Amino acid sequence: MRTALLALGLLLALRAPAAALTTRDMLGRPVTLAAPATRIVSLVPSVTEILFALGADNRLVGVTDFCDYPAAARQKPSVGGMVSPNLEVLVSRKPDLVVATTEGTREETVAQLERLRIPTYLVVAHRVTDVTALVSHLGELTGRRVAADALRARIEQRVDAVRRAVAPYRRPRVLYVLWPEPLIVPGRDALVTELIRLAGGESISAGDGDSYPRYSLEAAVAKAPEVILLANHGANTGPIDRERWQRLSELPAIRTGRLHQVEGNLLHRYGPRVVDGLEQLARVIHPEAFR
């Protein structure tokens, strides 16, 4: 199968006209396209969302099984999973651009795409500025710069509005529970950590060097969180292990009734809805700012 894939990839490369667009991905790697991309395979749910928001969804010829928003994304042809897509199916979609991620797509998959000479743009996003930069980059790659500028401006305006709203208030200590058992929390390089700070809180695990480290219950209790946020992982997922935390009645967050559920898809994906997640955080961390 590898020989057939290489042959097809070389054929696609030989048929391409002279390069007209060269940019760099979010790792600084050069990416060269013959023209703005018209046949995109997205291996990143966040990227799929952005392309729909830019009105470039007609250029999507392949997505992953996890690209579930907006609803129309489910109607796009699937190339399989995010970590290990089916390369034979992917190549059969004849993409002129594949968008992958450093935190999900296997290095082996990226290497195979490079051997096939399929332009591959790698995404990494740990900050809100990375999100807005990605919007601009995708606008450039698809010839949708005007739409990208408008979307970026809307995101930045809403972020600024939240920042101004929470600025007068003290920052409470926040425990964000990504997963209950083992206990997984956001560390220094997690997008959620910055969102908590923008929303007027201070994550108790912000000092950890990993993006999403495992955390001990004892360490969480010792830091006496004043707000506890339990992330769900889909529209039909209820509160995660809420009873476990309610039993810890000595915690300030439990004594004051500040145990909340938040929608993880808005906070872990770095698409346009990340600002919806930020506003959700701000309202539970500082309800007094939004009365």
User: What are the pLDDT digits (tens) for 214-264?
Assistant: 999 999 999 999 999 999 876 555 557 788 899 999 999 999 999 999 998
Q: What is the pTM of this model?
A: 0.88
Indicate whether 177 pLDDT > 80. Answer: yes
Average pLDDT for 113-137: 95
User: Tokens representing 52?
Assistant: 């729909």
SS3 state at 164: helix
Alpha-carbon radius of gyration of the chain: 21
d(C-alpha 224, C-alpha 238), whole Å: 25
**What DSSP character marks residue 289?**
G
Tell me which residue has tokens 């968008």. 99
Q: Which residue has the higher pLDDT, 145 or 1?
A: 145
**Residue 233 CB neighbour total at 10 angstroms:** 13
Q: Where are the domains of the chain?
A: 2-151, 170-290
- Per residue in 3-39, pLDDT (tens digit) is 544 444 444 444 444 446 888 999 999 999 989 999 9
Yes or no: domain 170-290 corresponds to CATH 3.40.50.1980: yes
Average pLDDT for 265-273: 92
Fold of 2-151: Rossmann fold (3.40.50)
Indicate whether 115 pLDDT > 90. Answer: yes
